[in-house]
Homo-oligomer: A and B are copies of this chain.
Amino acid sequence: MTYNPLHLLMNPKSIAVAGASNDPQKMGTLQALSILKDGYPGQFYPLHPTEKTVLGHRAYASVHDLPEIPDLALLIVPTAFVIPLFEDFAKSGTKRAIIISAGFKEIGPEGRMLEERLQEIAKTYGVRFLGPNCMGIVNTALPLNLTIGKMDSRPGLLGMVSQSGTYVTQTLLYLHERGIRFSKAISCGNEANVDMVDALEYLGQDEQTKAIILYMEGIRNGRRFIEAAQQITPHKPVLAQYVGGSASGARAGQSHTGALAGPDFLYEGIFKQAGIIRCGSIEELYAHGWAQATQPPLRGRRLAVVTNSGGPGTAISHNADQGGMTVPRFSDALQAKIRELIPPHAASANPVDLTYHREMKVLSTVIPEMIMKSGEVDGLVLHGSVGSGFIKMVYDHIKELAGGMSEEEAARQMATDMTEAVKLPWKHGLPMMVSSFFGRRDDNTAQYMDGDIPVFDSPEKAARGMVSLLRHLEIRGRKPIVKSVLPEVIAEAAEIIKTALAAGQKALDEHQAKRLLALYGVPVTREEIVNSEEEAMEAAGRIGFPLAVKACSPGIMHKSGKGLIELNIQTTEALRIAFRSVRTAAGGKIPSVNNNLRFLVQEMVAGSREFVAGMTRFPGFGPCVLFGLGGIFAEALKDTTFRAAPFGSIEAAEMLDDIRAKALLGEFRGMPAVDIPTLASILQTVGNIAVLHPEIAEIDLNPIILSGAAPIVADALFVLAK
């Protein structure tokens, strides 16, 4: 366990609250009530300027009047009072604070100044604080509830960090109805001091927390975030929803917590790099997180489907299949055993479909256990275990026939003891998900929820919940991420950049770029710089045909379509013509710096498979490396993936697996599979170069041609920072 500011913040022995009163309409009062009513075992000290008691507790007029230095200060006061009060706490020795009050960075420049003042005070006095502009925390183990809503009384297993306070407060009833319980939840607000990464690391260490979910609108320190997640994700699932990646999403987030948003495609790659499972909605985030937190880990792809109805069985199978699972046909032996329990024409192959109206215990317990014991599957999804829900659906119709039996009594007669059913996953070490259209008002469904079996309100969702477990199986199967070791800066490379900058170049010319790449070990085309037709002929003699001739100047960013490049030159005669043609085309058109126009004579790499690599710097993440499909289709297909640099060989190799066209990297139409270590090492090196040489703003290696198995960089652009 390493030091984390949240250990004390989440587990204070005493709390002082500023902003609570005896008026239940005030948010501060609601939060104080949550402390008092939800079982907090420590000391509670309300601060109030005039009241003698608040919520039955003696109130203190100022920080100096408190009988002890509280572990935690909770501030829910108007913005203007925050700084003096915070300073009072800091000076008096309180080391942790949660600032609920808003009106800081999220409102613009004036707010930002106030927030900086908070940060100064914290630094001066060694205080760590959460917020401002947050909604508090929940720690169900202590217990401590600092939100405005009532917390579930049973400690939970799911840890949450949220950049929106709503998702740890307004959803408490929603979660209760679905049987989902937090271990700890942290609304991190503007993250002026304690940030999302601190919270992630804290939950990573927390034994009560079995899975972690993150609601994200942006991240400030991407590198720390990735490294923290990489430590956690191999053994504890981390799931995230990211909504900052669209134009309007980013604008909304900006005015919300002032979060620094990046494009959606970047986060797609970052989450893969970090081992984080991405969710598409808050519903999935909660539900899949809960499935991961409660169930034994999935150990394979084989799914059993047990239902009382064909439609849901088909839908579960379809969705499992789409997510990469299989629904294998059961062995004859297993089917024979199942068939003893089901109607003659009911399906036993998998899905098992008991059809309408069977003894619930057969559906809920006997058949699932039979299947789990068989060793033929790795997990099970169940639909149709219903008790009182069915009665509630038909009671109005049958009450007269039922001879005065009350709805409750009728439901009681339908009741099934689910004690054994809810133990199955742990008894057999296999995850189970349940689908029910009835929710908590059905007693079977409620027993599942209370027994920590994830319940979904449609069959597809239950299947997708299981697929989420498959994603973590894949993450557990990743090769261990080794922190990459940066190479030394190569003096000649630094010199190339320095010279170019001194000459006022906005970019390296192609030859300089490739020289720099070659210095770091990246395979590039054999080529020579020439200044005349004769030199071109001599170079051709050394390199050999076929050849390409290109104009070469830092002023040329893109060559195609301008006559500045001639490819596939087969003979000396053709070379002469090509050289003259390029020279003529270049003559007038190039906005060259210092008129330093030269020409490149270059080997033609034979190969029809082309890829691209690149580097862009993103706020919050620094240099990020792109890999994608190249060639003329690249632009049309946008088949790319990103990682934050620097990264090691494992992460680089994983990038190759991300693109839709990855089949091109294997054996393909008689062409050999790519040399993966070399291609991965190009990507890794692009990242390293970006880290070692911050003067480089952008890199574009396009195309990287596969010559047989060997990737060779055929063109390169390095844009320099202004």
Contact = CB atoms under 8 A, between A and B. Distances in A.
B164 A314 contact: yes
Given A282-B458, A393-B172, A321 B166 contact: no
A310 B253 contact: yes
Contact of A398 (B24, B357, B386, B438): B24
B393 A149 contact: yes
Contacts of A322: 246, 264
Interface string A237-252: 0000101111111011
A248 B321 contact: yes
B397 A150 contact: yes
A37 interface: yes
Given A149-B394, A248-B326, 16 more contacts: A33-B401, A164-B314, A166-B311, A170-B393, A173-B438, A245-B318, A247-B321, A248-B317, A249-B321, A252-B310, A255-B349, A256-B311, A281-B319, A282-B315, A560-B669, A635-B668
A84 interface: no
A327 interface: yes
Interface in A565-614: 608-609
B313 A256 contact: yes
A119 interface: no
Nearest to A133: B310
B246 A318 contact: yes
A164 B636 contact: no
A664 interface: yes
A392 interface: yes
A459 interface: yes
Interface string A24-53: 100101100110011000000000000000
A418 interface: no
Among A315, A355, A401, A438, max chain B CB count under 10 A is at A315
Interface in A164-218: 164-167, 170-174, 177, 215, 217
B311 A164 contact: yes
Nearest to A280: B460
A632 B609 CA distance: 9
Contact of A437 (B174, B384, B460): B174
Interface string A321-352: 11000110100000000000000010101110
Contact of A669 (B241, B247, B561): B561
Contacts of A18: none
Interface string A133-177: 000000000000000111000000000001111110011111001
Interface residues of A, number: 116
Interface string A367-398: 00000000000000000101001001110111
A633 B170 contact: no
Given A310-B166, A669-B635, A281 B315 contact: yes
A192 B313 CA distance: 22
A682 interface: no
A447 interface: no
A288 to B, nearest CB: 13
B637 A608 contact: no
Contact of A458 (B106, B281, B438): B281
Given A27-B357, A459-B282, A668-B636, A314 B349 contact: no
A349 B108 CA distance: 14
Contact of A103 (B167, B173, B345): B345
Interface string A294-320: 000000000001000111111101111
A120 interface: no
A443 interface: no
Contacts of A249: 314-315, 317-318, 321
5 contacts: A165-B309, A166-B311, A170-B386, A251-B317, A637-B637
Contacts of A632: 608-609, 668-669
A22 B439 CA distance: 30
A663 interface: yes
B326 A167 contact: no
